[in-house]
Structures are given as structure tokens and as C-alpha cells.
Amino acid sequence: MNRMKNYIIIFLIFINISCNEKKTNKTYLANYVESIKEKHSLTENPLVLIDGYVEQYELMNDGAFLLLEEDIVNTEYLKKETAFKIYGEKGKNGAVLVKTILSELGNKNSNSDKKTIYVLDGKIISKNAYHKIEKNKIIGIATILEKNAIKELTSEKCDELIYVTTEMPKK
């Protein structure tokens, strides 16, 4: 268990360092949104949904947004009229739909015989509880496939362990 805590602490330190670095370049997704705004003559930002969850466009360039181009499987722009019908007032400027590798992996895993254990801040939770976690509260997610690392966290047998962190570890 101590080894896993060390991995998690290192992971959180990495996230903290990457969040605190000054980033002057726009992210891939921010550049994509800017190109959509230009192409469709939008004066305001479109709604941005990542794996079905609304994200704030303003956070994409402040260094706290960790979605890389290689994490993105598909992007799609819904025009104003269509987005407004689906999302109401929020979709008045259209909507950018982003599908990530994480959602792809989730879809593949849900159709397989693979046994997955979900852990939230050190406690095992159900798959249902995992899907109810508020995405904006997540600090980090790790998919652990290494059998020895899984044994460090649980005695239950499983093929993978999804570890979600929403709180900084307490000393």
C-alpha cells in the first residue's frame, strides 16, 4: 500500500508541476475551437463537451488543462441550430464534441469479460459510483494493469484497477 501511495504522490506532484508552469502556447483543443470560431464567424465561444461533460473553454489555456492532442480520438462541431435544439441556450454558439481515449477504453472495457476494480481516494467503489463522480473534481485518473501494483492496493483479483484522485493525500 505504501508503494502505491508513493506512486500517487509522485503522480500528483507531476500534475502540480505541470499545472504551475507558465504556458504561453494554446492547447490543441483551444486552437481547434479558435478555428471553429473563425470558420463560422462566432463572436463567443461554443459549448465544449469532453466525453459528454461540459468544460470551460477559458481553462484550456491556463495550464490547468491537461488534455493532449494524442488523447483526443475525435472532434466534431455541431452548428448553432443543431446545438441549440440539443443543449438549449448553452448551445447558442454551437458545440464542440470531443471524444477521448479514456472514453474509448471505457467503452471497450464495458463490453469485455475483464474484471475492473474502481478506487476513489483509496476506497473501493462500484462501477456505478465511478460513473457518478463529478468530472470537475477529479485531480487525476490512473489505469493500473500491472498485477503486482494491483496486489499492493487490493487482495481482490482483477484485470485492471482504475484509481481516481479527487483529494490531495493527507500526511
- For residue 35, being part of any structural domain is answered with yes
Could you tell me if 118 and 162 are in contact, meaning their C-beta atoms sit under 8 angstroms apart?
A: yes
Amino acid at 160: E
In tens, the pLDDT along 44-57 reads: 889 888 887 787 77
Domain boundary among 101, 135, 159: 101
Residue 80: name the closest of 108, 106, 43 by CA: 43
In tens, the pLDDT along 66-76 reads: 677 888 888 88
Q: pLDDT band for 38, please (50, 70, 90 cuts).
A: very high
- For residue 44, being part of any structural domain is answered with yes
- For residue 67, being part of any structural domain is answered with yes
- Given a cut of 70, whether residue 20 has pLDDT beyond it is no
- For residue 10, being part of any structural domain is answered with no
Residues 117 and 95 in one domain: no
Residue 142 parent element (H or E): strand 140-144
* Total structural domains within the chain: 2
- For residue 59, being part of any structural domain is answered with yes
Q: In angstroms, rounded to a whole number, what is the distance separating the alpha carbons of residues 140 and 136?
A: 11
Residues 117 and 92 in one domain: no
Question: Which domain does 65 fall in, by range?
Answer: 25-101
- What's the whole-model pTM score? 0.48
- For residue 11, being part of any structural domain is answered with no
Residues 93 and 31 in one domain: yes
Domain boundary among 79, 101, 123: 101
- Given a cut of 60, whether residue 63 has pLDDT beyond it is no
Torsional sign, CA 71, 66, 110, 76: negative
Residues 31 and 86 in one domain: yes
DSSP-derived pairing of the beta strands 53-55 and 72-78:
unpaired
- For residue 18, being part of any structural domain is answered with no
- For residue 74, being part of any structural domain is answered with yes
Residue 140 parent element (H or E): strand 140-144
Residue 57: name the closest of 93, 82, 84, 22 by CA: 93
**DSSP labels for 34-67?**
HHHHHHTT-SSPPEEEETTEEE-GGGGGSS----
Residues 34 and 91 in one domain: yes
In tens, the pLDDT along 128-166 reads: 998 888 877 887 777 777 787 787 778 888 888 888 888
17 exposure class (CB count in 10 Å sphere: 0-12, 13-18, 19+): exposed
Which residues does 22 contact at the CB level (< 8 Å), separation at least 6? 63
Domain boundary among 101, 126, 147: 101
